[in-house]
Amino acid sequence: MNLYRLANSQRNTLMTVSSLLLVLVTLTHPVLAKARSISIDTINTTRVERCAMDLDAPALVEMPALDAVADHLAQGESLHSALMAVDYRATEITAIPLRNIDSDEKLMGVLGRRYCNEIARADATQVGVAQQGTNLWVVISTPLPLPEETQADDIRERLLALINTARSKPRDCGDRHYAAAPPLALSDELSLAAIGHAKAMARTGSFDHIDDDGKTPSDRVRETHYRAHLVGENIAAGMGSAEEALEEWLESPGHCENLMESRFTHVGAGFAVNLTREPAVYWTLDLAQGREPTGNATQLAKHTAVPAGAEHMTVAHASPTTPVPGRSEQPEVQMPEPLYDLYLTTLPVYALEATSVVADLRGM
């Protein structure tokens, strides 16, 4: 049988399709039977008895959403289409279509011989199954942890602490060396701009610093009445947590430069989730050098400070008038690459180079 795996990676996109020997069977009956003879307990037992999984490892939990994914697969849909149809997202998900499975013993034998690597992944926690006669679809998943809006304040505070930890030490961003930078303060105004842009990207599925109204990060920050000399923005999509987004930003020279820029004094962050989009999670980080302290800025004195993906950027020292520039069990693996980008601006004149912008706000 062909094995289908969909994995969310932070750097690589890989798809391998095996079409040797056997193909996915298209069944003649489109309606799946509601009852099934195969037990989820059989899959969990196979993980321990045939795949040498630790007895203390948590058992796979059956999820209705994954049962629905398996149902869609049984009707001939792709794994990606099935996931979109039921609004389910995963960091890694594997679908195993099997045929001629007429007993638990036979299922254990096939899974134990061919699919231990898939069903016994240490990070897999959820399972779904669909059955039609002796044909079976097993879906094993590591769910994507989606940030909750009710946790937004805590996520921003955590991200602030992580960023300031990164800034507290010298760091190389690509071939540029940065000395330790002063800690940033959290700004409600910048967070308002960041939240708005993250929601806009999630709503439209776009991934750009220029929004659908043609506004730049500087425009959005200005609308919050934050008075800025310098504005920078990092955006990311596809990461389930702020930590993942920040890790990717730090590994990208341009985004790293934004994070280590010593002139920035404040930061704001926002995220948005839309399960009808792919990617489903969007992040925005807005940084700025304020002309004066803002009443809504929160200092980091209470934090112990110890610090999301990316493209090239160079921080520019700009003037107001000068722009600066095999086998049947071989898997099909698809890893949607997370999206990320950066923006640095100092207005009124700015130079657009790929996705990096520099401009000067002084005098505005």
Specify the higher pLDDT residue, 5 or 239.
239
Look at 15-24, 233-242, 250-259 and tell me which has the smallest mean pLDDT: 15-24
The pLDDT of residue 55:
82
Residue-wise pLDDT tens digits, 91-121: 889 999 999 998 999 999 999 999 999 999 9
Give the span between the Cα atoms of 187 and 204, in whole angstroms.
Answer: 26
The pLDDT assigned to 233 comes to 94
In the structure, what pLDDT confidence band is assigned to residue 37 with cuts at 50, 70 and 90? low
Tokens of 159: 């991200």
Residue by residue, DSSP assigns 186-205 as: EEHHHHHHHHHHHHHHHHH-
The pLDDT, as a whole number, for residue 89 is 87
Name the phi and psi angles at 39, rounded to 5: -100, 145
Enumerate residues 6+ apart whose C-beta is below 8 A from 305: 161, 164, 165, 168, 183
**What's the pLDDT tens digit per position in 39-88?**
899 999 999 999 989 888 899 999 999 999 999 999 999 998 999 899 88
Can you say whether the dihedral through the CA atoms of 40, 43, 44, 46 is positive or negative? Answer: positive
User: What pLDDT, on a 0 to 100 scale, did the predictor assign at position 263?
Assistant: 93
Is the pLDDT confidence value at 349 over 80? no
C-alpha distance from residue 97 to each of 2, 25, 77 (Å): 7, 9, 12
Band of residue 21 on the pLDDT scale cut at 50, 70, 90 = very low
| Predicted pLDDT of residue 90 | 87
User: Per-residue confidence at 17, pLDDT binned at 50, 70, 90?
Assistant: very low
The more confidently predicted of residues 318 and 40 is: 40
pLDDT band at 7 (very low <50, low <70, confident <90, very high): low
Residue range 133-192, pLDDT digits in tens: 999 999 999 998 899 989 999 999 999 999 999 999 999 999 999 999 999 999 999 999
Task: Return the pLDDT at 5.
Answer: 55
3-state class (DSSP) for residue 7: strand
Whether 360 has a pLDDT exceeding 70, the answer reads no
Q: How far apart are CA 2 and CA 21, in angstroms?
A: 9
